[in-house]
Copies of this chain bind each other. A is one copy, B any other.
């Protein structure tokens, strides 16, 4: 008798954790992802700011699942689900399942703003991270060709929209790339012509953190030369400018958009009921109502803790992955799925070198202690030993010599 097949759509933190947790279960696991790699997303902004190369924050899925003798991988984009026929539909063919775990994550949301979608850059996947790196470096090269200070200022203004952890980290990293590295590369650069602007619609950054940590982050950002604009709502973006609600225009040829995120399109394509941010409504067990063999985890899951939807965070995805793996293992043995409860380990965000904020229950860290904590957590969690060595060499190099190794403008020929 063949073993039940668990198909996991998405090899992010949720999907990969679920596959690992099924290692000893009497099932066959098939991971499906549109990319052939698992991405360590917390360091994506370091690829975008030319500190790390893709190989340092991503691992081939096939390499990661080698120790799992019941798991295999297929690269494909997910189109939908045939619930009645129990088939996952992909651009390369259908995949039958006995149990299905949907874990395709989230994507940038421009809230239907066409100008934003066209001219602003997202930072959710590796291709986007490399595109931002290329763009920032290209603007500096282009700025050397003009005698018009207005145009130079437009080329050298980098606007980051969204004061959440991604926006704060990206603004901090771009500012340091410019002030510590590019300044030395461009001898005739007038640093006063360069602007890094962080815009946030709320009256504070890092809404998820305690007020004292928000304040600490704000001070840290401003100390690093970042212009933080609070209460600033972006209305539209063009090739060369950004317009705020109220009419103010800021000349900028680079706009990085981190202010909106919604669940991946897989939710919509399944036709099931959706919650906020296009997330799939699920039972407390993370099953889709009426589809007991289909689970949803991670950013795609509209799971609630009773008061609000759970945040789109890696710990939520990993805990749900483990929980669902246990439920499936029970169901295979004629048991049932249990309700999921999220245990919050805390949150953190870094603002360039030397500074971070961390909120771990009652413990609040900021500044250098926060940064050391951030460093340890991330180094421990970077996906493999080898990466850890290389990431550490790169970080140490940057720290000691203020030098970024990979400020290359590269794109694979299509």
Measuring CB to CB, which residues of chain A are less than 8 angstroms from any residue of chain B? 35-37, 53-56, 58, 60, 62-63, 66, 72, 74-76, 92-93, 126-128, 130-131, 133-134, 137, 141-142, 144-145, 184-188, 386-387, 389-390, 393-394, 397, 403, 405-414
Contacts and interface: CB of A to CB of B under 8 A. Distances in A.
Given A186-B62, A414-B131, A408 B74 contact: no
A185 B413 contact: no
Given A37-B410, A63-B403, A130-B413, 5 more contacts: A55-B408, A74-B141, A75-B141, A130-B412, A131-B413
The complex is assembled from copies of this chain, and their number is: 2
Dominant SS among interface residues on chain A: mixed
A413 B53 contact: no
B72 A413 contact: no
B127 A413 contact: yes
B54 A408 contact: yes
A36 B141 contact: yes
Contacts of A408: 35-37, 54-55, 58, 60, 126
A120 to B, nearest CB: 13
20 contacts: A35-B409, A36-B137, A53-B55, A54-B408, A55-B406, A60-B408, A66-B184, A66-B185, A72-B188, A74-B141, A75-B141, A75-B144, A128-B413, A130-B411, A130-B412, A134-B412, A387-B405, A393-B393, A411-B411, A411-B412
10 tightest A-B CB contacts, nearest first:
A55-B406, A130-B412, A62-B185, A131-B413, A411-B412, A53-B53, A75-B141, A53-B55, A127-B413, A37-B408
A76 B72 CA distance: 46
